Structure 1
Amino acid sequence: MLKPTRNDATLDHTTAAWCVAALVVGIIVAQVSPHPDASKVVAVLLLLGAGWVAAATFLTHGAGDSLLCEVLRLPEDFHALGIVTLRLRLVNAHRRRPALFLQSHVRVRADGRMLPSPPFITPQLAPREAVELEWSITINMRGEHEIVDLRVRRCFPGSLVVCEQIFLLQHRMLALPAVYRLQDRAVQLLIGRRHAAGRQHASPAAMEDFIGVRSYRAGDNPRHIHLVTSLRMPEYPMELAVREFEDPTDDDVCLVLDTGIAEDEEDRELLLYRHEKSLSFSVALCRLLCGRKYRVRFRFLDADGKARDLRIQHPVRDLARLESLLARVKPISSRKAVQQLLGKQAGLGEAAVLFISLREIAEERRQPRLAVLSVTPDWQMSLVREVVDS
C-alpha cells in the first residue's frame, strides 16, 4: 500500500468569489429594500449560506484524509500507438468517515511534458472499502516515459478549500517503435543483390561445407536431419538435429539506417517525421527477413557518433534488442559520418546492403560506386501493409 507523500489544502477561488458576491448583494438589498423585514430575511439567507459553506468545508477537509493506494498493474514496455492499461486501487482506511466527491487522475511525463489523464470520479467511498481505478493509455511517441503520480482531489460542493493527496508512482516505461506489417513483395528488394554480395547457395555444394549440427527449425530441409544426434536428444522425436553447412557468421543482408539530420537542415521537421517512420520500417523489414531465414546485420550511428552493430539471428531475442535500441536513438547532426559508414560497409562486399534512407534521392546516384540499394521514404511506405495500433 502506498501512503500519500503530500496532503495539500488550497483555497477554492471560485467559491470564495461567490461568497463575497453573495455578501455584497445581501448588504445592498438590505439597504435599498423598502420592506421593513428585508434585513432579517437577508441575514437568515446569509446564515444559511454560511452554514452550508462551513459544513462543506468540514466534509472536504475532515473526510477522506485516510486514503491509501494499491498498485494492481503497471504497464511494461510497449509499442507506440499501442494501448496499455494502468490499474490502481484506492482504499479508504478510515473506520467511520466516508470519502466524498473524489476526483482521481494520473500524470504521465512524455518527451519532457506533463500529460494529465482524464479524471476518475468517485462520488462516495465508504469506510473500509476500495474502488478500482483503470486508465487506458495511448502514447504516439517512442522513447522513455514515466508515470509520475496519482493525484486524488476532494471538494464537496460549496467548500472553501480543495484538498489533494499525491501518491508517488515514478514508474518508467519504454515506448518501442510502432509495429508495421510489410507486404511479402518487400523481399524482392534483394533480387539481384543477394547473389552479387551475399551467399549464393542454400544447400551444401561439397562435403567440406559441413561445419556441425544444430536444432531443427521450421523450414529446414528434412534431408539434413542428423539421425544419430537426434536419437540422443531428450525430447526426441519432438526435437531433432540437422546438419549445418554454412558459416553462421556470414551475413545475407546488411541494413544501414540513415540517421543523419543536420541542425540547419531546410526540411528538418519533415526529416524527423520520416526518421520515426523509418525506425518502424527497419524493424518490420528485419522481422520479415528473419522469417525468410536471412541472416541480417543492422548498423546505424546514434547522436554521439557511436556506431551500433547488431546481428539479427534470433527472431525474438535479437529483434527485442533492436527495438530497445531504436526506441532511444536520436539523429546525428553529421550526414558525412553516415555516408562514411555506408561506404565502409559497401566496400566490404560481404552482404547485400540496403540503405534505409530519409531522402528521396537515392544514395547511389550521389555516389555511383556504392553497391547499395537505397530504400527511399516513398518506397518504404508503399511496402507497408498495415500499422498495428493495439
Structure 2
Amino acid sequence: MESRRYFTRSARWVLASLWPTQRLLWTREGVLYIAVWAGLLATGLNQQINLILLVAGLAAGPLVASIFASAAMLRKLRVTRRIPAYVFSGEPLTLDYTLENSRRWMAALALAVEDDLTPLDRIVSGSSSVTPRVFFARVPGMTRARLRWQGPSPRRGKYRFRMLDLVTRSPFGLIERRVTTLEPALLTVYPRVGQLTRRWQFLQRQASETRRGMRHDRSAQQQEYHGLRDYRPGDSPRWIHWRTSARLGQPMVKEFEQQNEQDLAILLDPWLPRTKVMPEQREALEKMIQFAATICLETCRHQGRRLLLGWTGATPGVRQGPASVKLLHELLEQLAVMRPSSEGTLSTLFDTLPPATLREAVLVVVSTRPVNLLEEAERSERLSGTAARGLMGRVVLLDASNDELTEFIQFPDDQSPNPAKPSPSSRTISPAPMIQDSDQDEVEAITEGSPR
C-alpha cells in the first residue's frame, strides 16, 4: 500500500510538472513600468548618480512584490461552475461561478474567472465559441461567493467546457498571474423554437381527417388500457375481464381511454449539395430544424399520442415513443446535432418506418429541396401503388427552400407580444432559462463541517 501511494504521489507530481497550472504574463502597464525602471537604472549606472540608483532600487520593490503577492493571492482558492443541462438557442445562457476562499484571515481581492465554451463539432455554419468572464471584487476568508454570468446562447449543437482560469493582477496591476484548473463539462444547445400559427393548426386538422371528412377513429385494441370497473348495461361482453370477475364474483369490464388524436410522424429531408452550398440553403436547413423542434415541443405538452421523428441520410434514422418529456429531450438532442446530407431519399426513409405509422399516423414531411412525394412513396418497397396514393391524404408536404415555413411558425422577436410560456414547475420543459434567480452575487460563510 505504501509503495502504491508513493507511486500515485509521484505520478501526480510528474503530471503537475508537465502541465503547468500557473502562468505569469506582463501587462501593458507592467511593460511600461519596466521600461521606465530600466531607463532609471541605466542612467544611474552611466552617470554614477547615487540618487537615481536609489530611486531605481526602490522602484524594483513593486515588481518583486507583484510576483510574490500574486502567488499568495491565489493560494487556497477553489472555483467551480454550475451549468444548465440544456439551453434553447436564442434564449439567455446563464452560468453560475462560485469562488471559495479557504484561507482563515486573508481575503481574496480583485479576482477574475475566465471560461471557454467551444463547439464539439461545427455542424452548424457560424457556430462560435463563448468566453464568459466574471469579476470577484472581494471574498473574505472562510467564505464563498457566487456570481452569475448571462449572455446569448450559441447556435444549436453540443458544446464543451474545458478549463477555468483564475486571474489576478493584484496588487499593482503590473503582472497577471493565471491558475488553470480542469473543469470539463458538456452543454447541449437545442434548436431555436417558436410558436405555431393558426394556419398550421388548420392544416394539421385537415390532414387528420379522412377523405370523407370524418375524423379517423381507432379500434379498441389501439386505445390505451385505463383500468377495470363494474359492468354496466350496454357494455360489450368482449371487454369482460373473466379472471377478475371470477375472483370478485361479479362481472368486471376493461376500461379504455379514448385517444382522439392521431399519431404524428415528422419526416425531415436535410439535404444539402456536396459543394457550393449557398447561404440560403443553410438557412432553409436551420428553419426546417427549428420548425420540427417547435412541433415536437407543442406535441409533447399534451400526452396521449405517439410522436415519431425520422430523417434521411446515408443511414436513415427514426426515434419514436409516447409523447412525454423524456421523448422530447431525445428528439431535441437529435435535432441539435442533425447534420445535412447529400445522400438518402424519402423512399428509403419510408422503408424504415413502422407499418402502423404508414397506416395510421399523420405525416409531416419537410424537405430542403423540391420533391415529388408520390414518386418517392411508389419507389418504397413497403408501399404499393394503392397504398402510396392513399398515404397522400394524410401527408403535409412542406418545402423549406421556398420560405414556405414562415407562415406556419412565429418567433418572439417577430411579434410584439411574447407568447406565454409554461411555468418551470410544470412537467413539460420550456424554452425559458432553467435558472431564474436574481443576478446579484451571494456570499456565504464556510463552516468547519461544510464540504469543500
TM-score range, shorter chain: 0.7 to 0.9
Work out which of the residue numbers 275, 283, 289 in structure 2 matches 1:279.
289
Alignment counterpart, residue 102 of structure 2, candidates 93, 96, 99: 93
1:57/1:197 CA distance change after superposition, 3 Å = farther
C-alpha distance in structure 1 between counterparts of 2:432 and 2:282, whole Å: 21
- The 5 A counterparts of 1:295-334 are 295-302=306-313, 305-311=314-320, 313-334=322-343
The residue aligned with 2:256 is 243
Amino acid at match of 2:99: L
Residue 267 of structure 2 corresponds to 256
Asked whether 1:22 is paired with 2:36, we answer: yes
* 8 Å Cα contact 2:194/2:410 also seen in 1: yes
Measured at CA, do residues 187 and 39 of structure 1 come closer, stay the same or move farther in structure 2, by a change above 3 Å?
Answer: same
**CA separation of 1:56 and 1:32: change in aligned 2, threshold 3 A:** closer
Q: Which residue of 2 aligns with 1:356?
A: 366
1:50 is aligned to 2:60 = yes
Give the aligned partner of residue 168 of structure 2: 154
Deviations 1:61-93 (A, max 9, x none): 23332212355x332122222234322321222
The one-character-per-residue Cα deviations of 1:153-196 (angstroms, maximum 9, x if unpaired) are 12225466432222222111211122221113202224654445
Alpha-carbon shift at residue 137 of structure 1 (Å): 4.5
2:397 is matched by which residue type in structure 1?
S
SS at match of 2:411: strand
* Equivalent pair of 2:225/2:255 in contact (CA under 8 Å): yes
Distance verdict in 2 for CA 1:9–1:317, change over 3 Å: closer
Output the TM-score relative to the length of structure 2.
0.64
Q: Which residue in the other structure is 2:130 paired with?
A: 115
Residue aligned with 2:328, SS: helix
Per-residue CA deviation, residues 249-290 of structure 1 (Å, 9 max, x unaligned), is x965432101121221442x3322222221121132244456
Does the CA-based 8 Å contact 2:346-2:376 persist in structure 1?
Answer: no
- 1:220 matched to which residue of 2? none
Tell whether the 8 Å contact from 2:210 to 2:216 is kept in structure 1 after alignment. Answer: no
Q: Hey, what's the Cα distance between the residues in 1 that align with 2:296 and 2:75?
A: 54
Check the 8 A contact 2:304/2:323 in 1, yes or no. Answer: no
Work out the CA distance in 2 between the residues paired with 1:253 and 1:69.
47
1:196-235 to 2 correspondences below 5 Å: 196=210, 200-202=214-216, 209-211=219-221, 214-215=225-226
Displacement of 1:24: 4.8
In structure 2, runs of 5+ residues without a counterpart are 1-15, 122-127, 228-233, 245-253, 379-387, 413-430, 434-452
54, 57, 70: which is aligned to 1:60?
70
* Separation of aligned partners in 2, 1:301 and 1:311: 15
Q: Which amino acid aligns with 2:333?
A: S
Does the CA-based 8 Å contact 2:84-2:187 persist in structure 1?
yes
Following the alignment from structure 1 to structure 2, what is the Cα–Cα distance between the partners of residues 93 and 159?
Answer: 24
Summarize the Cα distance change of 1:9–1:243 in structure 2 as closer, same or farther, 3 Å threshold.
closer
Which moved further from structure 2: 6-15 or 178-187? 6-15
Measure, in 2, the Cα distance between the counterparts of 1:198 and 1:144: 46
Are residue 338 (structure 1) and residue 345 (structure 2) matched? yes
Q: Match for residue 375 of structure 1?
A: 398
Q: Which has the higher strand share?
A: 1
Please give the alpha-carbon distance, in whole angstroms, between the structure 2 residues aligned to 1:63 and 1:253: 60
Give me the whole-angstrom Cα distance separating, in 2, the residues matched to 1:171 and 1:243: 45
The alignment of Structure 1 onto Structure 2 pairs a total of residues equal to 351
Identity %, equivalent residues? 16
Give the Cα–Cα distance (whole angstroms) in 2 for the partners of residues 314 and 367 of structure 1.
Answer: 28
CA contact 1:60–1:159 (8 Å) conserved in 2: no
Contact 2:365–2:397 under 8 Å retained in 1: yes
TM-score by length of 1: 0.73
Deviations 1:290-314 (A, max 9, x none): 6596654332135xx2222233532
**Contact 2:139/2:145 (<8 A) preserved:** yes
Q: Secondary structure at the match of 1:133?
A: strand
1:26 shift after superposition = 2.8
Q: C-alpha separation between the residues in 1 aligned to 2:350 and 2:107?
A: 70
- Which amino acid counterpart does residue 47 of structure 1 have in structure 2? G
Q: SS in structure 2 opposite 1:263?
A: coil
Distance 1:188 1:363, change over 3 A: farther
What is the identity, as a one-letter code, of the residue corresponding to 1:104? V
1:115 alignment partner, SS class: coil
What pairs with 1:171-210 in structure 2 (closer than 5 Å)? 171-190=185-204, 193-196=207-210, 200-202=214-216, 209-210=219-220
Instruction: Measure the CA separation in 1 of the matches of 2:374 and 2:217.
Output: 35
Amino acid at match of 1:17: V
Aligned match of 2:419: none
CA RMSD of aligned residues (A): 4.2
* 1:161/1:364 CA distance change after superposition, 3 Å: same
